[in-house]
Chains A and B, each alone.
Chain A
Amino acid sequence: MSSVGAEVESATPAEAPAGTLRHQAVAFVIMVAVLVVLPFFVYPIFLMKALCFALFACAFNLLIGYVGLLSFGHAAFLGAAGYVTAHAAKVWGWPPELAIVAGTATAAALGLAVGAVAIRSRGIYFANITLALAQMIYFFFLQAKFTGGEDGIQSVPRGTLFGFLDLRPTVTLYFVVLAIFLAGFLLVHRTIHSPFGQVIKAIRENEARAISLGYRPEHYKLIAFVLSATLSGLAGGTKAIVFQLASLTDVHWTMSGEVVLMTLLGGLGTVFGPVVGAFLLITIEHYLAQLGAWVTIVQGVIFVICVLAFRRGVVGELARLIRRPL
């Protein structure tokens, strides 16, 4: 039985050719160029939303694509960070950078707690357990006083970054969000290609062998889980500042499902897949938003198609076409 990530990995040549990193560097430059030019043609708020979700999906992909663990509770980290960031910025009057750091740190702590409970299990068990724990966190935020229940925390001030960069102009905010996204993206990329990343991939491929070589899989998995939760929190905190809102939508399990779908659509275990998947799905949802329940139906249909016939995802298929991992 091949693991989820491994199946995708075998889509690309087993031995990555020497030019692998150069290919990815070229793709990265193209991505940055597109993202710098795009706000002058496309509504920047929409792009910022897509960037936040892209970062969220990259964080999620770190876990499913490289550790082989499917978390079905990642919305908890996104949403929790959003609430803490919004509360810190609005009620405590913290500047945006500190508010986002506070949100991110909350997500990291939650990630450590959830990870400590869930990490000993694998596969379906892991998915089930993360889902249940995330639902518990959802109920906490539903009942907690400071979250405002169904209303959420509204009109969160964007504030002034580092005391001199006013975030109210949309273009300024866009480039700050882009910088945050790129930092997160590069961190994920760096992690995957570090010795640490090699070990987690080794654990995914053959855990027993990794143990026999003296590695402790649970430590590595927990670190990867916390890192993934932290970056999800960074996405959630940033999103709260962008939309000036933290709400129950971001903690609900449907959001956990959405990030799975983004990553699956873009390509599990590919570097650029989550970004492409997030942009595609946010675009689709944008056009279907007026149609209510249709969004859910279309999401479901994409899920079914991806699982049955398109398991490599957009970027995975592209990578197979050019025979280079992307």
Chain B
Amino acid sequence: MRGNLIVFQFLGIPPQALFGQLLIGLINGSFYALLSLGLSVIFGLLNIINFAHGAQYMMGAFVAYFLLQYAGLGYWWALLLTPVLMAGLGMALERTTLKRLYHLDHLYGLLLTFGFALIIQGVFRHAFGSSGLPYPIPPELAGGRNLGFMFLPNYRAWVIVFSVGVCLATWYVIEWTKLGSYLRAATENPALVRAFGINVPRMITLTYGFGVGLAALAGVLAAPIYQVNPLMGADLIIVVFAVVVIGGMGSIMGSIVTGFALGVVEGLTKVFYPEASNTVIFVIMAIVLLVRPTGLFGRAS
């Protein structure tokens, strides 16, 4: 530890700044992982890039805000109810619109969800302006602890632990349970799985709902950290797209690992070369694509 401290001071960077940025990196990484996981799950089965994912993340934060303002339901209820409500909304969306496009080129799904993203963001911006609304940290998670080399706010620690848990649970369900094996089989060959008597269209609907629910969950987690803002998902989602490309589209573990790793890389870039912190993920994406066109964890399409 002591040796490390000397090295950091030698580089002219105080350890507090380094660990502070590492923590921010892990927090961002949690959101990258949750969002890219949702995108990957949806992409795997529907072959659609859900452009509305950022808007649905934003809606998740707003639903938490509404629950608190109008129903008096606090953070823990929001964490439970918001994903369910948003998943229902997502499934309705899939049933009524996305379903009609499966026989066409998958790009139409991208364009449709892009349209939804514009509508959702426009409506919320019209109603709430562009400035953020505050959302309080739940009292159980207020405060923080001193780790000696840095101060760790409890809520941030919770976000990291909880999102790792959700990611691993999702990975477990998809890779190791019977339900997951149906899902993976339907990804490979939907017609054959249907012939075995499994209701694939319903599975597709549920999958889209699940992906949207994950985005909304990320939104609830984000509400106390960032403010609740109509545009909070707009630029974030483009970074997440890059994360998904780096991880390999449709790879579950790939999107989790790359999500966290890139958050950390971005945080470290802020310490060592701040000018590049906005672009570092895109640069990594370009390099990865040149070396491995299918992404780090992806299979050849």
Contacts and interface: CB of A to CB of B under 8 A. Distances in A.
A136 interface: yes
B108 A303 contact: no
Contacts of A124: 43, 47-49, 106-107, 110, 249
Number of contact residues on B: which range applies?
35 or more
A140 interface: yes
A250 B157 CA distance: 39
Q: Tell me whether chain B's interface is mostly helix, strand or loop, or mixed.
A: helix
A125 B301 CA distance: 10
B53 to A, nearest CB: 12
Given A124-B107, A143-B278, A297-B119, A303 B245 contact: no
Q: Tell me whether chain A's interface is mostly helix, strand or loop, or mixed.
A: helix
Interface stretch (B24-32, B78-86, B97-105): B97-105
A136 B244 CA distance: 16
A120 interface: yes
Contact of A117 (B100, B108, B290): B290
A169 B116 CA distance: 42
Contacts of A299: 115, 118, 122
B125 A129 contact: no
Given A128-B49, A129-B285, A4 B107 contact: yes
B238 A301 contact: no
B122 A70 contact: no
A257 B114 contact: yes
B181 interface: no
A198 interface: no
A143 B278 CA distance: 10
A51 interface: no
B271 interface: no
A260 interface: yes
Given A293-B122, A300-B119, A121 B279 contact: no
A161 interface: no
A294 B285 contact: no
Contacts of A1: 104-106
Contacts, number: 137
Interface stretch (A219-227, A230-238, A304-312): A304-312
Nearest to B290: A117
B33 interface: no
Contacts of B290: 117
Given A131-B241, A296-B122, A3 B105 contact: yes
A66 interface: no
A298 B245 CA distance: 30
Contacts of B105: 1-4, 7, 123
Interface string B275-291: 10011001101100110
B117 interface: yes
Interface string A279-302: 000000000000011111111111
A300 B115 contact: yes
Contacts of B283: 136
A170 interface: no
B126 A292 contact: yes
Interface in B39-84: 43, 47-49
A132 interface: yes
Given A124-B49, A304-B112, 11 more contacts: A70-B110, A117-B289, A120-B289, A140-B279, A142-B278, A143-B278, A253-B238, A293-B126, A296-B125, A301-B119, A307-B101
Interface of B: 43, 47-49, 97, 100-101, 104-108, 110-112, 114-123, 125-126, 235, 238-239, 241-242, 244-245, 249, 275, 278-279, 282-283, 285-286, 289-290, 293, 301
18 contacts: A3-B105, A70-B107, A118-B289, A124-B107, A132-B238, A139-B278, A257-B114, A296-B119, A299-B115, A300-B118, A300-B119, A300-B122, A301-B119, A302-B115, A303-B112, A303-B114, A304-B116, A311-B104
